[in-house]
Amino acid sequence: MSWGSLPTEPKFEGEFVVERRAVKPGRRFEGLNVFVTGAGRGFGRLIALGFAREGGNVVVHYNKSAESALQTAREIEQMGVRAFTVRADVTKWDEVKQAVEKTWREFGPIDVLVNNVGDTAPGQMSWREITEERIDHVLAVDIKGTLFMTHEVGSRMLERKKGVIVNICSNVITTGSPRAPQYAASKYGVLGLTKSYANAFAPYVRVNAVAPGYMETESLLSRPDWTAGRRKWVIEHTPLRRIAKPEDIVPVVLFLASDDSIHMTGNVVVCDGGFSMPGA
């Protein structure tokens, strides 16, 4: 055992007995409160709606897109569940603390946290364009943001002795990113946080990650370097011969957040159509 893996506080002793929730088909999150960061639009919005369809009450987090967050909340409420909007810049710990405290006070305890917010450095087309400012921003959003949210929500879950956290990673943890090396570094950081907190919060709180590959999001489609030729090349080098829609990845997030993955923690599930084809 390495020094880095030595326990620093008392661990749970004995056998941990897991109790599955009794759920109706298609309602795995009935009565649970789910916090999704960056849920006002894009992939985060689809994740939030996915939880709502299965009975979850959803906290719609946003930073700048207030109107989009309100629209997402309205759609959630139309499904017969509760919605709550809260703003915070996840790179600022004080704002995260305030947002989590407000959520706990006004909405209720959180059962599931999805750390969706991330920065892919969309404006950077080559490693040659890297700047200190771009490095700092990507690392702050992806690593600090994930850490702050996990720390604040996860510690409260640990006090309640129950909860699930799902982080959004990327297949760049296997492929790297010649376009934006700082993005690959940040997602390696997210993987490290996933495994670290999975150990720290065990056995009460499970922490896993989803690692999508190329997804045809608004962000990807608007990039100047996403040309027809490059899209064709990616498809040709993907065994499943297609590029994922965000809707294709949402079910994997829900799987990791549900009791269907009850014996998984510290794991990362790569969803890139076989593009990176990791070894066992």
Can you list the domains of the chain with their CATH numbers?
Answer: 29-215+246-271 (3.40.50.720)
Q: What is the dihedral of CA 180, 267, 50, 238, to 10 degrees?
A: 50
Average pLDDT for residues 216-245, to the nearest whole number? 88
The string of pLDDT tens digits covering residues 183-225 is: 899 999 999 999 999 999 999 999 999 999 988 888 788 788 8
What is the pLDDT of the chain when averaged over all its residues?
A: 91
Residue 180: per-residue pLDDT? 84
Instruction: Say yes or no to pLDDT of 40 above 60.
Output: yes
The string of pLDDT tens digits covering residues 125-150 is: 677 888 998 999 999 999 999 999 99
Amino acid at 197: Y
Average pLDDT for residues 95-104, to the nearest whole number? 98
Residue 1: per-residue pLDDT? 47
Please give the positions annotated as active site. 183
Average pLDDT for residues 230-256, to the nearest whole number? 95
What stretches of the chain adopt beta strand conformation (E)? 33-36, 57-62, 83-87, 112-115, 163-168, 205-212, 268-271
Residue 258 CB neighbour total at 10 angstroms: 20
Which pLDDT band holds residue 266 (cuts at 50, 70, 90)?
very high
Average pLDDT for residues 59-72, to the nearest whole number? 96
Rounded CA-CA distance 49/250 in Å is: 10
Provide the b/e sequence for 164-199 (b: ≥16 CB within 10 Å): bbbbbbbbbbbbebebbbbbbbbbbbbbebbbebbe
Amino acid at 78: Q
Instruction: Say yes or no to pLDDT of 262 above 60.
Output: yes
Least confident residue range of 25-34, 115-124, 175-184:
115-124
